[in-house]
Amino acid sequence: MKALVAVKRVVDYNVKVRAKADGTDVDLNNVKMAINPFCEIAVEEAVRLKEAGTVTEIVAVSVGESSCQEQIRTALALGADRGVHVEVEGRPEPLAIAKLLKGVFDQESPDLVIMGKQSIDGDNNQTGQMLGALTGMGQGTFASEVKIGEGTVEVVREVDGGLQTVSLTLPAIITTDLRLNEPRYASLPNIMKAKKKPLETLTPEQLSVAVQSHVTQVGVAPPPERAAGIKVEDVSQLVDKLKNEAKVI
């Protein structure tokens, strides 16, 4: 069974991103970049399925500028077998990424696609579902458990009220939630080995996809600040403030 895992290069989750003073865009000068945490969970899940003998080959794909090859190498160091880089300048939108991933999907014919439920930059939570629609695949979004069966996959999903289990016909797409697994760290020997693993670069033209923009960012702003509050001395002062000042209890 072949697994296709999509990974995205994003600002490291420890970086507190701010809007530029002129409001044109976020300030991403000299910030640390990393693999999107949800994508890391996706890679880990594929590697675990390979270790369990279910998956035989893992292909890691990323859509973006040439720098995103770093994140493909990270996926290779974690255990993916080979990489595919779809080279696109700028910031492609979820629908364009989904179309490009469909191009790779058609070329690779994987049995399973695993990707993060959202990236921590745009916070869109769209690409996996869109790829599902474009390919007609069933989707197990916000997955917290994945069990491969005969021609099917059972996915436990984190939903508003608790957990929902669905069964999907393979090939299917899974988008990862936080508690699916805890990703490992890449070992130094594996990081070295990853440098020699094959990495193919494709263009949108080769995949017959026209990269289009549907939604433009007009500007950015910091969120409204909360006014600083006060420290109360004890519980009785707290209750007094809530009753008589805030009037919420």
Partner 1 sequence: MKTLVIAEHDNASLKAATLNAVAAAGELGGDVDILVAGAGCGAAADAAAQVPGVAKVICADNAAYEHQLAENVSLLVAELGADYDNLLAPSTANGKNIMPRVAALLDVGQISDILSVESADTFTRPIYAGNVIATVQSADPKKVITVRTTAFDAVPAEGGSATVEACSAAHDAGVSQFIREEVAVSDRPELTSASVVISGGRGMQNGDNFSLLEGIADKLNAAIGASRAAVDAGFVPNDYQVGQTGKIVAPDLYIAVGISGAIQHLAGMKDSKVIVAINKDEDAPIFQVADYGLVADLFEALPELEAAI
CB of 197 to partner 1, least distance (A): 31
* Token pair in block for residue 149: 């069966």
Q: Is residue 247 left, alpha or beta, with left meaning phi > 0 and alpha meaning psi from -120 to 50?
A: left
Cβ contacts of 182-190, under 8 Å, gap ≥ 24: 182/44, 183/40, 183/41, 183/43, 183/44, 183/78, 184/44, 184/47, 184/78, 186/74, 186/77, 186/78, 187/77, 190/77, 190/78, 190/79
State which of positions 51-80 bind partner 1 (CB under 8 A).
none
CB of 210 to partner 1, least distance (A): 11
Should residue 177 be labelled a site residue for partner 1 when binding is judged by CB under 8 A?
yes
Measured from the CB atom, the residue of 46 and 142 that comes closer to partner 1 is: 142
Helix/strand/coil for 165: strand
Measured from the CB atom, the residue of 182 and 196 that comes closer to partner 1 is: 182
Should residue 11 be labelled a site residue for partner 1 when binding is judged by CB under 8 A?
yes
CB of 147 to partner 1, least distance (A): 11
Should residue 21 be labelled a site residue for partner 1 when binding is judged by CB under 8 A?
no
Measured from the CB atom, the residue of 14 and 189 that comes closer to partner 1 is: 14
Q: Of 9-17, 43-51, 61-69, 106-114, which part binds partner 1 (CB under 8 A)?
A: 9-17
Helix H or strand E segment including 9 = strand 9-11
Measured from the CB atom, the residue of 69 and 118 that comes closer to partner 1 is: 118
Helix/strand/coil for 244: helix
Measured from the CB atom, the residue of 36 and 69 that comes closer to partner 1 is: 36
In angstroms, rounded to a whole number, what is the distance separating the alpha carbons of residues 76 and 60?
7
Should residue 144 be labelled a site residue for partner 1 when binding is judged by CB under 8 A?
yes
State which of positions 79-98 bind partner 1 (CB under 8 A).
93-95, 98
State which of positions 180-209 bind partner 1 (CB under 8 A).
none
CB of 65 to partner 1, least distance (A): 19
Say how many C-beta atoms besides its own lie within 10 A of residue 225's C-beta: 6
Q: Cβ distance 57 to 135 under 8 Å?
A: no
